[in-house]
Copies of this chain bind each other. A is one copy, B any other.
Amino acid sequence: MTSFALIQSAAERVSQHARVTPLLCSPMLDMIAGRHLLVKAECLQHTGSFKFRGGWAAVSALKPDALKRGVLAYSSGNHAQGVATAAKAFGAPAVIIMPKDAPDLKINNTRALGAEVILYDRAGGESREAVGETIAQKRDLTLIRPYDDPQVIAGQGTVGLEIADQASELGIREAEVLVCCGGGGLSAGIALALEKRAPQMRVRPVEPKGFEDMARSLKQHEVTSNSKLTGSICDAILTPRPGQLTFPILTRLAGSGIVVSDEDALCAMALAYQHLKIVLEPGGAVALAAALFHGAAIQTDAVIAVATGGNVSTEIFQKALTLLPDCERRYTQ
């Protein structure tokens, strides 16, 4: 079980290697959001997403013989890069199970990190969990789950420690913290960190429309699944259902979920490009989209959005740029 103490010990191992990402803001985004908006730019993290933290926390917690045998992860890309990077640093072999429809950038980056990549058919209904567990067992590898792993949640929780420190330096103690949510590992880790370090801050998970399993599960007080696994550009956060470890944490600590459209995510990407000078992927932009375009759902004067990753295909980024004039007209008039 992930505790605050586990986050602190993860921070000791991770902090020498992870980047302290900046908390960015812009007068124009404040104006659109209608409140002070701070953006935790985890796209600037090593490997281009916060997943580096969880991957490093999990791999660095392994004993030498487990490292020698190697690790396995299933991931749409960002967790894969996090695990592969950490594995490489610790000299451990890494096998990564990725969906065939993940962006080429993520697949290529994972291979470039020295990992063995095995592709599976997400659209055809193959379960990455089943594929991953079978191969892990057969090859005697340690499976590092993308969110249902205490060390991974603890590693992601280091984002929460930084948010508490950085916001406090700016004099902000009360805020809703919007987090892009797949299985809930980052949301849960941040929630645990904030519970101790910034008790007046509350996590709000944000998901793409049609894949709001966490929002629905929190509302219904039980785990419910998505009816589909593809059909949004937010590939990084399309998970089947809330995690077994993450859901109880979020039930206890998080506020209700917020749901945004793919178009909202594209506009958030375009405005982050224009006003913050950062590159986001759709799944990494949904929290910012919620802060910008769903202000009615937010209850605090200040809001913090975690911009979780920037590993986007150029085709989709170009599409976001094409929408920029419409986005600016839509939200600034």
A residues with CB within 8 A of B: 19-22, 24, 28, 41, 43-44, 48, 105, 112, 273-274, 276-280, 310, 314, 317-318, 321, 324
A44 and B278 contacting across the interface, CB-CB below 8 Å:
yes
- Enumerate 6 A-B pairs (CB-CB under 8 Å) in ascending A order: A19-B24, A22-B44, A44-B276, A105-B274, A273-B317, A278-B278
Name the contact of A314 in the complex, choosing from B19, B48, B324 (C-beta under 8 A).
Answer: B324
Given contacts A277-B310, A321-B321, 5 further A-B contacts (CB under 8 A): A22-B44, A41-B44, A105-B274, A278-B279, A279-B279
Measured CB to CB, the closest approach of chain B to A199, in angstroms, equals 27
Q: Are A48 and B277 in contact (CB under 8 A)?
A: yes
* Distance of A280 Cα from B278 Cα, bound (Å): 9
Residues of chain B contacted by A105 (CB below 8 angstroms) = 274
Report how far A21 CA is from B317 CA in the complex, Å. 24
**CB pair A28 B318 closer than 8 Å:** no
Bound complex: CA A198 to CA B232 (Å): 49
> A317 CA to B273 CA in the complex, in Å?
10
Check A314/B310 contact, CB under 8 A, given A21-B22, A24-B44. Answer: no
A87 → B minimal CB distance (Å) = 14
In whole angstroms, how far apart are the Cα atoms of A20 and B112 in the complex?
Answer: 31
Given known A21-B22, A44-B277, A279-B277, contact A321–B310 (CB-CB < 8 A): no
Least CB separation from A311: chain B residue = B277
Q: Which residue of B lies closest to A307 (CB)?
A: B277
| Docked pose: A321 CA to B314 CA in angstroms | 7
**Of B22, B28, B310, B318, the contact of A22 (CB 8 Å cutoff):** B22
B residues in contact with A43, CB < 8 Å: 277
Which residues of chain B have C-beta atoms less than 8 A from A44's C-beta?
22, 24, 41, 276-278
Alpha-carbon gap, A318 to B276, bound state (A): 17
B19 near A22 (CB under 8 angstroms)? yes
CB-CB under 8 A from A280, the residues of chain B are 277
Q: List chain B residues, Cβ under 8 A from A314.
A: 274, 321, 324
Q: Which residue of B lies closest to A26 (CB)?
A: B46
Could you say which residues of chain B place their CB within 8 Å of the CB of A321? 314, 317-318, 321
Task: Provide the bound-state CA to CA distance between A48 and B25, in Å.
Answer: 11
**Which B residues are CB-close (under 8 A) to A279?**
273, 277-279
Closest to A284 in B: B277
CA distance A321 to B313 in the complex (A): 11
Whose C-beta in chain B lies nearest to the C-beta of A310? B277
Given that A277-B43, A279-B273, A279-B277 are known contacts, is A112 also in contact with B28, CB under 8 Å in the complex? Answer: yes
Provide the bound-state CA to CA distance between A314 and B320, in Å: 11
Q: In whole angstroms, what is the CA distance A293 to B97 when docked? A: 35
Least CB separation from A317: chain B residue: B321
CB distance from A161 to the nearest CB of B (A): 17
Chain B contacts of A22 at CB under 8 A? 19-22, 44
CB distance from A134 to the nearest CB of B (A): 31
Most buried by B among A21, A280, A321: A321
